Homo-oligomer: A and B are copies of this chain.
Amino acid sequence: MTWVPGAADSLFGLDNLPYGVFSRPGEPARVGVRIADQVLDLAPVAELGDPASELAVAWRTPSLNAFMATGPAQWEVARRWITEVLRDDAHQERTAPHLHPLAEVQLHLPIQVGDYVDFYASEQHASNVGRMFRPDQEPLLPNWKHLPVGYHGRSGTVVASGTDIVRPCGQRKAPTEDEPTYGPSRRLDIEAELGFVVGVPTALGERVSTADFAAHTFGVVGLNDWSARDIQAWEYVPLGPFLGKSFATSISHWVTPLAALEAAWTDLPGQDPRPLDYLAVTEPAGLDIEVEVVLNGVVVSRPPYASMYWSPAQMLAHTTVNGASVRTGDLWGSGTISGSERDQRGSLLELSWGGKEPFLLDGVERTFLEDGDEVALRYTARGPSGSRLGLGEVVGRVVPAT
């Protein structure tokens, strides 16, 4: 239990403690930890106490990168110390002045992103897309069950939750059109994903085995991979998505450390054929995380992360199997999370079956995003003793093309 009011009934209690970057009016941005609806300013509290001064220095910076680079031993020191400070009444008097209501602070992009890779790890999502885009072929391409298919996205346009999304312009060509035209995307979409953040870097030529996942991965964020389906469909052969995705990728303000997710690990749905040795994992390798896709305040889908075919440890092992190095702040997305039911699909492309089967939103037929739409992705993970923990939500509003 904690002396912080409201924490006991919160999705952000003492078992959770996600990190973020915040500022107060006129003050520099620095690292904080969330408890209930407040953020604890970590550096000044650390300077009152006894954690390694390395931590206080890292927490004074405007991104989590310096802290994430300290590695798992320091992450554990930090979490144990924060838990103690927030649990023990003896700390309350000198700590409470450094707790600020979320309503009174500004939250920022929590990490300085290195490389951003996006995967395609949901069998249901990949199958749905295959059925729509290549109706005359097997839904899954031959490589899909042998490796976690992924590609690099644009790290410079990863933005914090709350950033408005300007409808992108570009070349679009519908199958019924002879020539491409230039204009605003007519098929703007979301992809509900989970993102994973690298803490500990590697050298060029080094590989991260699936067993070393937690030695390099700091935590998870909510992630919305905004997608312009018409731009993407015209541009993507043969080198993959580019402008259809690169205009914006939103992530949550809060990074949930892996330590908070210990109770959330669950078995994968099962992999057949058995992957090559470098992709072998020890179960539980999946995560029990529930997602809600909320469009203009209405829940339109509840994708279950536990249904994902490829595990995060496999994605990191695959990314580095060729000797590619990772850096602190590298981010990878899981790919759209879609379950087997229609109301578990993580994109409007799937919810509206390519726009051909509109879904109802407050009684109105909808397909892709309209200007003014607000999308929120909300996440909860299985916590200790059957509780649920909140992950950072990802919000974005569509504004008209300029």
Contact = CB atoms under 8 A, between A and B. Distances in A.
Interface in A349-402: 402
A157 B236 contact: no
Nearest to A278: B182
A168 B327 contact: no
How many chain copies? 2
The prevalent SS among residues of A at the interface is loop
B166 A205 contact: yes
A341 interface: no
Interface in A115-145: 115, 117, 120, 133, 141, 143
Nearest to A205: B166
A111 interface: no
Interface residues of A, number: 62
B237 A239 contact: no
A318 B146 contact: no
Nearest to A206: B402
Interface stretch (A59-67, A96-104, A243-251, A281-289): A243-251
A231 B324 CA distance: 14
Interface in A176-193: 179-182
B324 A237 contact: no
Most B CB within 10 A of own CB, among A157, A170, A246, A322? A322
Contact of A149 (B155, B239, B278): B239
Contacts of A242: 117, 149-152
Given A152-B154, A243-B319, 19 more contacts: A115-B154, A115-B156, A141-B237, A143-B171, A143-B180, A146-B180, A147-B180, A149-B235, A151-B242, A152-B152, A157-B204, A159-B204, A171-B276, A182-B321, A236-B240, A240-B240, A240-B241, A243-B324, A247-B323
